[in-house]
Chains A and B, each alone.
Chain A
């Protein structure tokens, strides 16, 4: 990602893969199987379909192994193949969604939303409730572009640039989709908390609000 002062990002400086360990193509690919299967599940929702997609992904990877460059990011390569195989299988047009808002607006919207939760005393819900099932349910309701941004960045730990590479969209698009997806998720999680009777707590004392 390009930063204001042209320096590498914090995540980039932490993601260097140790050198000196030579894996065969097969070992490297199989090492990524759990991650690819999870990504396939997030694309299809149906376990059987996901398994078929994983198999198709590895089949394509195996057939294209001559294009593989030693030392490249195997997981990112497999994710890209997986996403492309999914799109072809489902005959979906790429980038049909025109739901990309300004990332800065979305960031400020997240801050405003937190202010409303502080005012209602619900600001501690993420510290107090077990949310895994609710998050998976909420994630499943998101439109695919938003869901995939969350899966790649928040669950699989990709930076914006790698996620953009996998999805075949600009970095700015990933950011706007990701930030909006997070806000949509939060709204659903707050609704879930209210449904299960999450008790509100008093708001923290502050001199003023920042936004």
Chain B
């Protein structure tokens, strides 16, 4: 077999095209190809792009770390467990 495979090359992005993708990139919402294109620019960029991305990544990290914990009291857990194990609960078919 002499099948030829074509591998798509990531587009070359300038600084503005890169920073426009900042949040989509950090939120992992870009395709693999676009992600590689941004990675490439961040490696090569001589100005502030990598700094912008590092700053916003740090920001997202502190927001994520502020996620509250221990929000379910023992009383609430027992209430919900009791509710979910009721065998004879009427099925009214309510919309959600």
A residues apposed to B, CB below 8 Å: 1, 3-11, 13-14, 26, 29-30, 33-34, 37-38, 41, 50-51, 54-55, 58-67, 77, 80-81, 84, 103-104, 107-108, 110-111, 114-115, 117-118, 123, 126-127, 131-133, 135-136, 139, 150, 153-156, 159-160, 175, 178-179, 182, 185-186, 189, 204, 206-211
CA–CA, A93 and B45, complex, Å: 47
A126 lies within 8 A of B58 (CB):
yes
Nearest chain A CB to B12's CB is how many angstroms away?
14
A80, A84, A111, A179: the one contacting B52 at CB < 8 Å is A111
- B residues less than 8 Å from A153 (CB atoms): 27
A33 lies within 8 A of B31 (CB):
no
B residues apposed to A, CB below 8 Å: 8, 15-16, 18-24, 27-35, 45-49, 51-52, 55-56, 58-68, 71-73, 76-77, 79-81, 83-86, 89-96
Look across to chain A and name the residue whose beta carbon is closest to the beta carbon of B80: A58
A155 lies within 8 A of B34 (CB):
no
CA–CA, A61 and B94, complex, Å: 9
- A residues less than 8 Å from B96 (CB atoms): 60-61, 64, 67, 77, 80-81, 84
- A residues less than 8 Å from B76 (CB atoms): 37, 51, 54-55
